[in-house]
Amino acid sequence: MERRLNQKLIGKRLTELRKLKGLSQEDLSKSVDISRPSLAQIELGNRNVSILEMQLLSIELEFSLDDFMSKDFKINQEILNENKELHNEVEERASEPILNVGKLKNVLLYILEKCAGKPNVGETVLYKLLYFSDFNYFELYEEHLTGATYKKLPFGPVPQKLNSIINQMVESGQLKRIKTKYHDYPQIRYLPLVKADLRKLKASEKEVLDNVIEQMSDWSAASISSYSHKDLPWLASKEGEEISYELTFYRELPFSVRNYGDAMEQE
């Protein structure tokens, strides 16, 4: 077996095989007794895989080690055909985020219902509450909450297209925009004029939103911005570029919202 196969290629092949089996990283990590953060690093090509780990992965994902390590390895076409429908479903779930405008509007209304009356909740705080809601949900469930994309900007992660969505909501009478001052600094705030449609929010989504609101909605703009600057997805991204949701798998406490327990490995 060629022991020096490129780590990136090993990770790419394991990712493809896992998705063909319809397994999440969480599912596979439990089956082979590798922590999910470690598996994420393996799939990204940032961590070596031991021989024992490869053997466990080969059993669970049903591949030959000799074939896998060969230069011309290809996923069996028959398996591809048999799992086409499931593969497409997993690919769609794991693909780039697709903005769900209706969900974003409901999430925005829900957050504002809970904390718009707090004098500190202006645009800066609101943007960060949305960011942590989206990224915490993805870390927990490997699914997108709103599908919003965020860019790394000097004041922290900023959701894209939000301004145009807010303008639509203001024009349609769903939100009211007001300009105030908070500690002598100008501030733009939003007041909800309609209630969020809770039928559009799953229990898991509402729970994540409630946790973020409880933890951070009393923070000042400076405090929540500083906190967001220490979150790994923001730290690992380049200035002005989109922040990858996948980076949530590398978070550590206090930012990680998953309880990895004793399975967490020391890298």
Return the higher-pLDDT residue of 149 and 74.
149
Q: What is the mean pLDDT of residues 80-102?
A: 57
Instruction: Pull the structure tokens for residue 87.
Output: 């593969």
Which pLDDT score is estimated for 130?
95
Question: What's the per-residue H, E or C state across the chain?
Answer: CCCCCCHHHHHHHHHHHHHHCCCCHHHHHHHHCCCHHHHHHHHCCCCCCCHHHHHHHHHHHCCCHHHHCCCCCCCCHHHHHHCHHHHHHHHHHHCCCCCCHHHHHHHHHHHHHHHCCCCCCCHHHHHHHHHHHHHHHHHHHCCCCCCCCEEEECCEEEECCHHHHHHHHHHCCCEEEEEEEECCEEEEEEEECCCCCHHHCCHHHHHHHHHHHHHHCCCCHHHHHHHHCCCHHHHCCCCCCECCHHHHHHCCCCCCCCCCHHHCCCC
Q: What is the per-residue pLDDT for 63? A: 77
Q: Is the pLDDT of residue 83 over 90?
A: no
Report the C-alpha gap between 256 and 260 in whole angstroms: 9
Instruction: Give residue 74's pLDDT band: very low, low, confident or very high (50, 70, 90).
Output: low
pLDDT in tens, 150-186: 988 887 788 888 888 999 999 999 999 998 888 877 8
Question: Minimum mean pLDDT among 4-8, 22-26, 192-196, 219-223: which range?
Answer: 4-8
Q: Give the Cβ contact number of residue 233 at 10 Å.
A: 24
Residue-level pLDDT at 76: 52
- Asked whether residue 109 carries a pLDDT value surpassing 60, the answer given is yes
Q: pLDDT confidence of 77, banded at 50, 70, 90?
A: very low
120 vs 87, which has greater pLDDT?
Answer: 120
**Greater confidence, 75 or 264?**
75
Q: What CA–CA distance (Å, rounded) separates 75 from 64?
A: 11
Query: Can you tell me which residue has the tokens 């922590």?
Result: 35
Closest-CA residue to 225 (of 131, 162, 107): 131
* pLDDT score at 62: 77
Mean pLDDT, the chain, rounded, equals 83
Per mean pLDDT, which range of 28-32, 144-148, 223-227 is the poorest?
Answer: 28-32
Q: Identify the architecture of domain 7-94 in CATH.
A: Orthogonal Bundle (1.10)
- With tokens 């309609």, the residue in question is 194
Mean per-residue pLDDT, 55-77: 73
For the cut 80, the answer to whether the pLDDT of residue 85 exceeds it is no
Structural domain boundaries in the chain: 7-94, 101-263
**By percentage, how much of the chain surpasses pLDDT 70?**
85
- Greater confidence, 51 or 43? 43
- Model confidence band, residue 95 (pLDDT cutoffs 50, 70, 90): low
Q: How far apart are CA 187 and CA 197, in angstroms?
A: 27
Neighbouring C-beta atoms of residue 262, cutoff 10 Å: 6
Residues 185-197: tens digit of each pLDDT: 788 899 999 999 9
Residue among 34, 2, 1 at smallest CA distance from 18: 34
Query: Would you place residue 75 in the very low, low, confident or very high pLDDT band (cuts 50, 70, 90)?
Result: low
Q: Is the pLDDT of residue 264 over 70?
A: no
